[in-house]
Each structure stands twice: as structure tokens, then as C-alpha cells.
């Protein structure tokens, strides 16, 4: 394989010289001042890249086996150079929606990627941190302070692993039942908590239960929120629940799950991850980082 790669590069160089495109060829065009002539990368550099890729994939395959996944998770493509335009899903609008943060369940993309999001913060399972890090599965957290405050450090560890920590209100109240002032207190108060403990005010907000009204979005905007991701499906350790009529995944779908354990579920958080990844991988999808598309 290496010999063929080197032979291919050599052939390209010969062709370039023969066509008069190589630097210094008689009658060729010299590079403009300050430019450097193009040079083919050394074959050893290609070999090194291929080796690193193989090592990374082998490590992920080993991690998948160690964590009981039937298949190695697919690798998501690089973040898009141009992020998609996010708009509010039809039927999810409120009065004056055009000037408010968009509410959506799916990212507009043709790539076979989905996005995993985890809500509230009740269960603080160290195995989840280890599992997701070893499998290199990205996810986004939406936190409520009444649960997170039991152990801010757990979510600090999560953040250090590249997880984005976002707003799910202070007390997980039914937002339409509160006044504008009450809703603003819930959202802005959580912004303050996240900034205090994690150093950054989030731009993403998910209303508890997915319920909101115009005051919710007005309050969210006033607190610095830019977008309101909801979800297209919800994951549990033993099944999936679907919003769409065809009960299936689609490119760009957002998956919801929760920080829960055996007290609430028929399984632990790693069991939930195994269920999600089986569903996603079997259907040919990769889990991508939500923030890369927003």
C-alpha cells in the first residue's frame, strides 16, 4: 500500500514537470513574489496520518467492545464550514416569533448525523463520563440548578471533557404557568449559576417539558439565549419514543434523554447510551456535536 502511494506521488511529480508546471521548468510560470512553489507532501507524512487514523479507530473499537456495544459508533464528519440557517419549526411559533430565539427539533442538514442531549442533572454517574470519553461520543447537557447544586463538580468534569453546559431553568417549573417576571427569574437565574460555576453564560435553553409561550421566549432572549432546541425523539435504556409519525431517525434529529439511574429507569445511564448507539448506528447515523451546527 505504501509503495503504491509513493509511486502515485512520483507519477504526479513527473507529470507536473512534463507539463511545464513545476517550479523552474523552461517556459513555465514562476510563482508570484512571496509565494512558494507547490510541493507534494512526503509519503511518510501520509503514512503517519493513516497510522494515527487507524490507531484512533482501533481504540474506539476496543472501547465499544469494552462497554458492550455491538458495533463501533460511526465517526461524525467534520463540522460544516458554513452553519445551517436555523428557523422555528412550523407549528411551534409564538406571536412575534421572527424576533425571538428559534424553536426547533431538527437541524437542517443532509448529513446522516443526529445530536444527543441530556436534561436536568439528577443522576451523576461517573461511568457516564468515562464511557462517553472513551467512545468519543459528543453530547450536550441542559441543567437545572435544584439538581445540579448537589454536585457542581461532577458537571465541571463533564465540561472539561468538552461537553457544553446549557440552561434548563433553576427549578424545572412549568413555564407557561409563570408570569414573565417569574420565567425571567428562572432563566436568568440559571444563566448566573452556570456563569458562576462554569465560566460562561449559555446561548442554548430548553424549557422544562418542552412547554413555553411568548413570555418564555421573550424572557430567554433578554437573558442572552440565542436558540431553543427541543427534540425529535427520546431515549430510555429499554426503548425509544418518537415525535414523528414514521417513528424513525432523520438527518439532523435531536435526541433527548435524562440524567437518570436505576431508581427511575430499567437500567443505568450506560444502558441508555447502549440503546441510543444501537439505534443510531444500526440506521447508519453518527452522533455529532450540536454546537458545531448552531
Residue 42 has a pLDDT of 63
Q: Mean pLDDT for the chain?
A: 89
Q: Could you tell me the pLDDT band of residue 7, with boundaries at 50, 70 and 90?
A: very low
pTM for the full model?
0.83
DSSP state, 194? H
What pLDDT shows up at residue 43? 65
Cα separation, 107 vs 33, in Å, equals: 45
Mean pLDDT, range 199-215, rounded to an integer = 98
Whole-number Cα distances in Å, 36 to 4, 23, 32, 39: 27, 9, 8, 9
Burial bucket for residue 94 (CB in 10 Å: 0-12, 13-18, 19+): middle
Measured distance CA(173)–CA(64) in Å, rounded: 37
Provide the pLDDT for residue 258: 98
Q: Are 206 and 214 in contact (CB under 8 A)?
A: no
* 124 alpha carbon, distance to own chain's centre: 20
Concatenating the DSSP letter of every residue in 7-61 gives HHHHHHHHHHHHTT-STT-TTPPPPPTT-----PPPHHHHHHHHHHHHHHHHHHH
Residue 160 three-state SS: helix
Amino acid at each position: 500500500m505504501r509503495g503504491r502511494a509513493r509511486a502515485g506521488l512520483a507519477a504526479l511529480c513527473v507529470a507536473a514537470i512534463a507539463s511545464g508546471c513545476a517550479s523552474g521548468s523552461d517556459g513555465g510560470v514562476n510563482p508570484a513574489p512571496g509565494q512558494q512553489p507547490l510541493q507534494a507532501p512526503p509519503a511518510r507524512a501520509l503514512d503517519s496520518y493513516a497510522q494515527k487514523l487507524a490507531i484512533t479507530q482501533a481504540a474506539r473499537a476496543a472501547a465499544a467492545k469494552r462497554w458492550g456495544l455491538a458495533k463501533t459508533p460511526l465517526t461524525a464528519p467534520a463540522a460544516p464550514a458554513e452553519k445551517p440557517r436555523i428557523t422555528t419549526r412550523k407549528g411551534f411559533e409564538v406571536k412575534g416569533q421572527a424576533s425571538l430565539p428559534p424553536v426547533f427539533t431538527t437541524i437542517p442538514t443532509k448529513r446522516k448525523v443526529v445530536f444527543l442531549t441530556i436534561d436536568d442533572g439528577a443522576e451523576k454517574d461517573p461511568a457516564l463520563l468515562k464511557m462517553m470519553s472513551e467512545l468519543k461520543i459528543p453530547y450536550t447537557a441542559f441543567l437545572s440548578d435544584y439538581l445540579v447544586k448537589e454536585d457542581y463538580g461532577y458537571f465541571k468534569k463533564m465540561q472539561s471533557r468538552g461537553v457544553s453546559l446549557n440552561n434548563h431553568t433553576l427549578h424545572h417549573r412549568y413555564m407557561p404557568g409563570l408570569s414573565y417576571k417569574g420565567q425571567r427569574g428562572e432563566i436568568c437565574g440559571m444563566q448566573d449559576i452556570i456563569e458562576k460555576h462554569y465560566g460562561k453564560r449559555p446561548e442554548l435553553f430548553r424549557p422544562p417539558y418542552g412547554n413555553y409561550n411568548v413570555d418564555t421566549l421573550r424572557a430567554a432572549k433578554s437573558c442572552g439565549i440565542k436558540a431553543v432546541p427541543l427534540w425529535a425523539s427520546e431515549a430510555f435504556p429499554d426503548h425509544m419514543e418518537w415525535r414523528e409519525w414514521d417513528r424513525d431517525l432523520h438527518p439532523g434529529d435531536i435526541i433527548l434523554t435524562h440524567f437518570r439511574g436505576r431508581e427511575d429507569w430499567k437500567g443505568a445511564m450506560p444502558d441508555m447510551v447502549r440503546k441510543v448507539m444501537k439505534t443510531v448506528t444500526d440506521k447508519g447515523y453518527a452522533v455529532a456535536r450540536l454546537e458545531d451546527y448552531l
